[in-house]
Amino acid sequence: MRSEVLVNSELVEKPAGNKTNTGAANCDDSKLVLAAQQGEGSAFSALVDKYYRKVYGLLYQMCGAIDAEDLTQEVFLRALTALRKFQFRGQASFRTWLYKIAMNTAINELRQRKRRRAWESYSLDKNIELADGSVERNVPDDADTPQDALERGEQQAVVWRILHALPARHRQVLVLIDIEGLEYQEVAQILGCPLGTLKSRVARARSAFAARYERFYKGGTLPR
């Protein structure tokens, strides 16, 4: 057990992307986790300090800016609740485990939104029924055209909106691999799927993204 902890702490020391430079952030994850499991509040605070930006980034890319902060807080509370069950075993690192919680939280949130939308939605094609007959529903199309977006020099906004128009399972892999730069192996653990399946999902997601991107630049509209 002890040796596993030491071995895995090496994995934890090479996170992808931005690294925070505070003293706490440089502490060994395994030591912090063990201390937090023994009820040391400052150890968990150090873990929060080290990872909250990355978790926020994941949730922002998955769910958008509005709920990202609340969801980040929810992720850490879930982590705190489940921390007792966490063990450094095999290739699992605290970061992988935390990202898994974050992804599950994001997927839950997206499902809830979908349900809310289904509940609140109405058909744009359906005519409005009035006492003296029905009239066509005229809904203004405020989706951006390529010219609009390009004139404003918003390529990143285009990428962002196409990304957010993708199904959650596609967005998930693009966020983790292409945006966050995680390794396939780690993403496979986060998503709980075999490596081969993950690679196919990545290919399918990029293919879907490319198709929408190309469609947009050939004169299509940007998803809202």
Partner 1 sequence: MKCERVKAKVHWYVAGALSSRQARAIEQHVSQCPDCAKALAEAKAIPQLLKNLPVPQPHPDLAARIDAAVRAHAASRPVAARHLKPALVAAAALAVAIIAVLVVPLVHRPLSLNASSPATSRFAATPPATTDTPARPSPGARTRPPVPADSSRLVRRAAPGAESRARRLMSAGAGMRFAAAKPQNVPAPGAPTAAARPAHQDTLAPAELGCSTASQDLRTVATIAAAPEHLVMASQRISQLPTTVQPATRPRQAAGLTISGEIASGLIAATLLNEYIEKNVIETTDTALAIATSVPTVPTLSISDTAVKVGE
Contact present, 25 and 50 (Cβ < 8 Å): yes
Q: Does 82 bind partner 1 (CB under 8 A)?
A: no
Long-range contacts of 31-37 (CB under 8 A, 24+ apart): 32/94, 33/83, 33/86, 33/88, 33/94, 34/5, 36/83, 37/83, 37/84, 37/86
Query: Rounded to whole angstroms, how far apart are CA atoms 184 and 96?
Result: 12
| Residue 196 interacts with partner 1 (CB under 8 A): yes or no | yes
In the chain, count H helices and then E strands.
Answer: 11, 2
Residue choice 39, 133, 140, 219 for contact with partner 1 (CB under 8 A): 39
209 binds partner 1 (CB under 8 A): yes
- Of the candidate spans 5-13, 27-35, 123-131, 174-182, the one that interacts with partner 1 by CB under 8 A turns out to be 174-182
CA distances (Å), 223 to each of 64, 65, 114, 160, in order?
Answer: 15, 17, 16, 10
Query: Which of 1, 3, 23, 65 is close enough to bind partner 1 by CB under 8 A?
Result: 65
Pair 75, 98: CB distance under 8 Å: yes
How far, in Å, CA of 79 to CA of 82, rounded?
Answer: 5
Stretch that binds partner 1, among 58-66, 112-120, 135-143, 144-152 (CB under 8 A): 58-66
Q: For partner 1, what does the binding mask look like between residues 149 and 168, x meaning CB under 8 A?
A: -------x--xx--x-----
What's the full length of the chain, in residues? 224
- Of 72, 96, 105, 172, the one binding partner 1 (CB under 8 A) is 72
Q: Which residues bind partner 1 (CB under 8 A)?
A: 17-18, 39, 41, 44-45, 48-49, 52-53, 56-57, 60-61, 65, 68-69, 72-73, 76-77, 80-81, 84, 156, 159-160, 163, 174, 177-179, 181, 184, 196, 199-200, 202-204, 206-207, 209-210, 213
